[in-house]
C-alpha cells in the first residue's frame, strides 16, 4: 500500500505507474482515494475543533454556577450536548469512510522500480543472464512423470482417489531425492548466514491482507471453513506476518531468515493444473529466504538473494537463467521481481524454479513493521526469494542428471542426504 501523502502530492506519478502495469481500470481510484482522504481529514479536524469547544464550555459551567448564573450555565450545558451529538454523528461516518479508503488503497499498485521492463505479461519478461551451459543430450529424455514412474517413485492414480487432481504420492528414491534437495537447501542457506525457521502453516486473514494483493489471495489461498485461518501459499506469508505490529531495533537489521514449509495453492487461472506430471500442483514443499531491512539496503539484498538461488541450482549441475519480470507480470505489492529458470533438456527450454521480489515498504505499511533509530521510527523493507520449491526443482535435477540407461546421477552435494548414493537405478 502506498503512502497517502505520496498519492496526494504525486497523483500523476501514481497514475502513470498504473498505466505501466496496464491496469487502466484502476486510474479513477487515485482521485477517489484523494477525495476520501480529504473527507476523513476534514471530519477529524472538525471533531477536534468541536471537542475543544466542548472542553472549553465544560470549564465555563463551574465558573457560572459559582457566580450564581444558573440559567447561563444551563444554556452552556445545552451547547455541550449539541457538540457531543455532532461529534457522535461525525465519528459514526469515519468507519465507513476508512473502510472504503483502505479497500481502494489496497488495490492501487506499488510504484515499480525504474529498471523494471514495461510489458503486458510474462511473455515480455527479459532474460538478463545465463549460468551454466544448457545441454541437449544425444538420447531422448522422457517426460518427468514417466521417469519417476520407472523408479516406482510417482503415483498420481492413488492421489486422484484420495485427493483429486493436482496432488501426488512421491515414493522411494524419488521421494528421498525430493527430501534431500530440501534438506540441502536448508543447510545451504544456514551456511550463507541465514537463520532457519519453521513457521506456522496457517495464518489469519489480517496477515493475508498484509502480505499479498486481493487478486493473488483469490487465486491462491485455501480458507479453513468456519475459521479465520488460511493455508499458506508460501512461508513468506507467515514469516513476514511474524513481525506484524513490531518495532525492530535498527541494530538488529537486516533480519536474514530461511524457512521450510509445505505450500498450498488453488492455482486458479490460465495455467491450470498439470494432470500427468508434478510441475503445477496444489501442494508442494519449499525452502524460502526472507529479509527485513532498512530501505537503503533493500536493492543490495535483492541482488544477493536471487544469486543464492542461482548458486544452489548450479551446485546441483542444473543450468539456469535469470529474467527480469515486466510491469504487467508484477503483483501489485512488488517493486521489482525476477525469476530464476532451470534448463529442461527434454523441452529444450527453461522453466521457472524460483522467484525473487522486493516489496519496498508495502507489506511493512500494511502490517505496521517498523524499526527505530536515533531519528525515530521508520517502515522496514521486505524481500523474499525461493531457494527451491519441490517437486518443481526435483524435475530440473532429474532431467539434467538423467542418463541414457534410465539411471539418474545424484549430484555430489545431495549424496550425504541420500546415504552416499551416487546413482539411482530404475526398477522398470
| Span 94-112, pLDDT tens digits | 999 999 999 999 999 999 9
Determine, yes or no, domain membership for 116. Answer: no
Q: Determine, yes or no, domain membership for 110.
A: no
Residue that terminates a domain, selected from 105, 132, 162: 105
| CATH number, domain containing residue 345 | 3.30.930.10
What value does the mean pLDDT take over residues 122-150? 96
- Whether residue 254 lies inside any domain: the answer is yes
The answer to whether residues 67 and 151 belong to one domain is: no
Whether residue 223 sits in one domain with residue 84:
no
Q: How many Å apart are CA 326 and CA 125, to the nearest integer?
A: 5
In a domain, 174, yes or no: yes
Q: Are strands 381-390 and 349-358 parallel, antiparallel or unpaired?
A: antiparallel
352 and 388 both lie in a single domain: yes
Domain region containing 39: 4-105
In which residue are the cell numbers 455532532 written?
Answer: 86
Instruction: Name the residue among 204, 196, 206 with its Cα closest to residue 227.
Output: 204
Residues 240 and 308 in one domain: yes
Using CA atoms, how far apart are residues 362 and 243, in angstroms rounded to an integer? 14
Percentages (nearest 5) of helix, strand, coil residues in the chain: 45, 20, 30
263 touches 230 (CB < 8 A): no
What band does 387 get if pLDDT is binned at 50, 70 and 90?
very high
**70-85: average pLDDT:** 79
405, part of any domain: yes
Cα–Cα distance measured from residue 268 to residue 231, given in angstroms and rounded to the nearest whole number: 15
Query: Do residue 34 and residue 150 come from a single domain?
Result: no
Residue 368, in any domain of the structure: yes
Domain count across the chain: 2
Q: What is the mean pLDDT of the chain?
A: 94
Q: Kindly state whether residues 156 and 36 are assigned to the same domain.
A: no
Same domain, 98 and 182: no
**For the range 89-93, what are the long-range contacts, defined as Cβ-Cβ under 8 Å and sequence gap of 24 or more?**
90/43, 90/46, 90/47, 90/50, 91/47, 93/43
The last residue of one of the domains, among 105, 130, 160, is 105
179 and 92 together in one domain: no
Backbone phi, psi, residue 195, to 5°: -90, 130
CATH number at residue 86: 1.10.287.40
What's the pLDDT band for 173 if we cut at 50, 70, 90?
very high
Q: Are residues 190 and 216 in the same domain?
A: yes
Percent of the residues in the chain that have a pLDDT greater than 90, as a whole number: 86
Confidence band of 33 (pLDDT split at 50, 70, 90): very high
Residues 83 and 213 occupy one common structural domain = no
Domain C-terminal end among 47, 73, 105: 105
Amino acid at each position: 500500500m502506498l503512502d497517502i501523502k505520496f498519492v496526494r502530492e504525486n497523483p500523476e506519478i501514481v497514475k502513470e505507474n498504473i498505466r505501466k502495469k496496464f491496469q487502466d481500470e484502476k486510474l479513477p481510484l487515485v482521485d477517489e482515494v484523494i477525495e476520501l482522504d480529504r473527507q476523513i481529514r476534514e471530519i477529524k479536524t472538525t471533531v477536534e475543533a468541536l471537542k475543544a469547544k466542548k472542553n472549553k464550555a465544560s470549564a465555563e459551567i463551574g465558573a457560572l454556577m459559582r457566580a450564581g448564573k444558573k440559567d447561563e450555565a444551563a444554556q452552556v450545558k445545552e451547547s455541550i450536548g449539541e457538540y457531543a451529538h455532532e461529534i457522535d454523528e461525525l465519528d459514526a461516518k469515519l468507519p465507513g469512510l476508512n473502510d472504503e479508503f483502505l479497500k481502494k488503497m489496497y488495490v492501487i499498485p506499488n510504484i515499480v522500480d525504474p529498471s523494471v521492463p514495461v510489458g503486458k505479461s510474462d511473455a515480455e519478461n527479459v532474460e538478463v543472464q545465463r549460468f551454466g551451459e544448457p545441454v541437449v543430450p544425444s538420447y531422448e529424455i522422457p517426460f518427468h512423470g514417466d521417469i519417476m514412474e520407472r523408479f516406482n517413485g510417482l503415483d498420481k492414480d492413488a492421489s486422484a482417489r484420495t485427493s483429486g487432481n493436482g496432488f501426488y504420492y512421491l515414493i522411494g528414491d524419488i521421494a528421498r531425492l525430493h527430501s534431500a534437495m530440501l534438506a540441502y537447501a536448508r543447510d545451504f542457506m544456514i551456511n550463507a548466514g541465514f537463520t532457519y525457521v519453521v513457521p506456522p502453516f496457517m495464518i489469519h486473514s489480517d496477515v493475508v491482507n498484509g502480505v499479498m494483493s486481493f487478486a493473488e489471495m483469490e487465486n491462491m489461498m485455501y480458507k479453513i471453513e468456519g475459521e479465520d485461518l488460511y493455508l499458506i501459499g508460501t512461508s513468506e506469508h507467515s514469516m513476514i506476518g511474524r513481525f506484524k505490529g513490531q518495532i525492530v531495533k535498527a541494530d538488529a537489521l537486516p533480519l536474514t531468515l530461511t524457512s521450510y514449509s509445505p505450500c498450498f495453492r488453488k492455482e486458479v487461472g490460465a495455467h491450470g493444473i498439470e494432470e500427468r506430471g508434478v510441475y503445477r500442483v496444489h501442494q508442494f514443499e519449499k525452502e524460502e529466504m526472507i529479509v527485513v531491512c532498512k530501505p537503503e539496503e533493500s536493492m543490495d539484498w535483492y541482488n544477493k538473494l536471487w544469486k543464492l538461488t542461482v548458486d544452489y541450482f548450479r551446485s546441483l549441475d542444473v543450468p539456469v537463467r535469470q529474467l527480469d519480470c515486466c510491469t504487467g507480470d508484477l503483483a501489485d505489492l512488488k517493486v521489482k521481481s525476477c525469476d530464476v529458470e532451470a534448463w529442461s533438456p527434454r523441452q529444450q527450454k527453461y522453466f521457472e524454479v524460483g522467484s525473487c521480489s522486493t516489496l519496498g515498504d508495502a507489506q511493512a505499511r500494511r502490517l505496521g513493521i517498523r524499526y527505530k533509530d536515533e531519528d525515530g521510527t521508520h517502515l522496514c523493507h521486505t524481500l523474499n526469494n525461493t531457494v527451491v520449491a519441490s517437486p518443481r526443482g526435483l524435475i530440473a535435477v532429474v532431467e539434467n542428471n538423467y542418463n541414457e540407461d534410465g539411471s539418474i546421477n545424484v549430484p555430489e552435494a545431495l549424496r550425504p542426504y541420500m546415504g552416499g548414493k551416487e546413482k539411482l537405478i530404475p526398477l522398470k
